Structure 1
């Protein structure tokens, strides 16, 4: 029975992926549509398929929500961070574009400006405005409980995207849609090993604390280096809070305190680009004197690859609109939703950066 349930869960995930033209982990070739070769990622390397999605399925009946036609619905989207970050710009636009394509009656959008208290009040305000379905990009993995409880009290389903919440699936939220962040860290480590030859001194620019993205990207990277490249020594780990200016400040400090650093792993592109600025100001050649690998897939980072100032970028796909609304439609059609639905991520290096630049966000 457990194996049958797991099989159904994976098949459901794969159907969502095909509907949204995005690959989901655990799918067979016959079940998966991989966007890596499509218009948005020409020439970029496809993601390595992670292990299967986890968790039993969640249906409309088990969640206890009323049936809904999205064309007659008010849908709310809660963005977590300032849209100065290209990832957030692309993510929000993807939700807006797909809502229009699906024909959603009304889309409410808010931005928490990186404040947890504001995200809670934003979600509560959308509920008071009649939101019947919510898509939430959580600021942190913890702390949204008051907002989730408010949604549950009104029987409003919640999909979380790009960051997990430490709550109970199919009770506090329907499902998590996002990347396999541990796998991203592993792929970044593999890229670092390739570009450095497996030896050197590495600094890690950590993301913001308090969310699973930072924890998982760090774990994947560190564990992979330990297993595959003991000659790459991690000599510093310091948070740059996913911000370019903070990444630059941290890199400036590290240049002084750890002048023998030969490589940088930045847990998002913005921090990596900040490191580029700091290295150039110090008279060093980023991409040559100091190798740089980061995660996101922004156009600016891929351009830095083209310019020889970067060495590799692992994409974290922000285009959640098609997958989110396809998942919502399946949910309201009575189908089971997997607890974790994994979106496909591409990879960029010097071999494909130029031809793939147009597909970066």
Structure 2
């Protein structure tokens, strides 16, 4: 117990995120070599508060425990905290991790640290967020975010029923592949391009509800004559909805999102937005842990991009857009119901 406490304090001090930034599930122990050694998995998420990353962490912890692997979870202090993630990688290298699972805040901001880890013999797998280039990690287990964005765009276009879109886009974190891929996929699905006059405005919100509400309010002050909203994730959708509702516009706008958290699915059922695209963080975490265990036992590495799937969730299905309703969504969602 004393060893566990010291490790958590060390990780917290290193990351400057406080004690809540360190979740240690088991003690380190066993051989450090790949191929016949003890599996030592380190998970680094963007934050330790976003429900999506909480689900990812909990699923990875449960899978590691079931397979007898040691596990430690660290996180950046905020979405975009690249320096915190670099320190987390260095910390895990010092602790003898055999595999690092990471959701990079920036697709390029942690590449040097990842390269040092890989050259030291550590398997590095990206979860949820791809690096640029993708070859910077051994493998990526994630949603095909272009496809998820495209599905959202196709739904919004169909729901507009032939009316030309006048669109506001609430993006994520600049420099993240998740943000870029979802944004580009949505435009492909709705049939627009960046710079199109149909886009009344766009702002990044770093996946944060309160920031999204403020950015949406600012955009609506410039132009409130809109009929469609793209949101990068469900917290930004809730923020955008609050801004629309305060202006009496919520019922006039078609809004979609991406995540598939239980709260988000309930939001769709309650009519805050018309659809969300569900992704499956449990599957990402479980497959990442399984690959880590295989690597420690045999030295075999996964490679390439592995799509963990996405599904449109809505109670207002549209022709030509495959979907499931919110009853199915609440049975398969992640997070607190």
TM-score bracket, normalised by the shorter chain, equals 0.7 to 0.9
**Partner residue, 1:44:** none
Distance change in 2, residues 1:94/1:180 (3 Å): same
Q: Is the 8 A contact 1:198 1:232 kept in 2?
A: no
SS in 1 for 2:166: strand
Q: For each residue in 1:101-146, what CA deviation from the matched residue of structure 2 results, as whole angstroms up to 9, or x when unmatched? A: 1110x21211112311111011101111121211111111012133
Q: Is the 8 A contact 2:39 2:292 kept in 1?
A: no
Shift of residue 356 of structure 1?
2.4
Highest relative contact order (Cα 8 Å, sep 6+), 1 or 2?
1
SS in 1 for 2:97: coil
SS in 2 for 1:209: coil
Q: Is the 8 A contact 1:301 1:310 kept in 2?
A: no
Q: 2:134, 2:242 → 1: CA distance?
A: 42
Q: 1:297, 1:91 → 2: CA distance?
A: 13
Q: Is the 8 A contact 1:179 1:344 kept in 2?
A: yes
1:215 matches 2:174: no
**Partner residue, 2:209:** 244
Q: 1:139, 1:278 → 2: CA distance?
A: 27
How many aligned positions are there? Answer: 288
Which of 221, 229, 235 does residue 270 from structure 1 map onto? 235
**Partner residue, 1:103:** 68
TM-score by length of 2: 0.79
**Partner residue, 1:196:** 160
- In the TM superposition, what are the counterparts of 1:220-239 in structure 2 within 5 Å? 220-226=185-191, 233-239=198-204
**Partner residue, 1:6:** none
**Partner residue, 1:359:** 332
SS in 1 for 2:169: strand
Q: For each residue in 1:15-65, what CA deviation from the matched residue of structure 2 results, as whole angstroms up to 9, or x when unmatched? A: xxxxxxxxxxxxxxxxxxxxxxxxxxxxxxxxxxxxxxxxxxxxxxxxxx9
**Partner residue, 1:297:** 260
Q: Is the 8 A contact 1:91 1:321 kept in 2?
A: yes
Unmatched 5+ stretches in structure 1: 1-64
Q: 1:355, 1:173 → 2: CA distance?
A: 34
Which of 29, 53, 68 does residue 35 from structure 2 map onto? 68
Q: 2:215, 2:241 → 1: CA distance?
A: 12
**Partner residue, 2:146:** 182
Q: For each residue in 1:138-186, what CA deviation from the matched residue of structure 2 results, as whole angstroms up to 9, or x when unmatched? A: 11101213321331342111111111112463xx421111111111111
Shift of residue 314 of structure 1?
0.7
Q: Is the 8 A contact 1:192 1:198 kept in 2?
A: no
Unmatched 5+ stretches in structure 2: 1-31, 317-324
**Partner residue, 2:137:** 173
**Partner residue, 1:338:** 303
Q: 2:270, 2:112 → 1: CA distance?
A: 47
RMSD (CA atoms): 2.3
Distance change in 2, residues 1:97/1:261 (3 Å): same
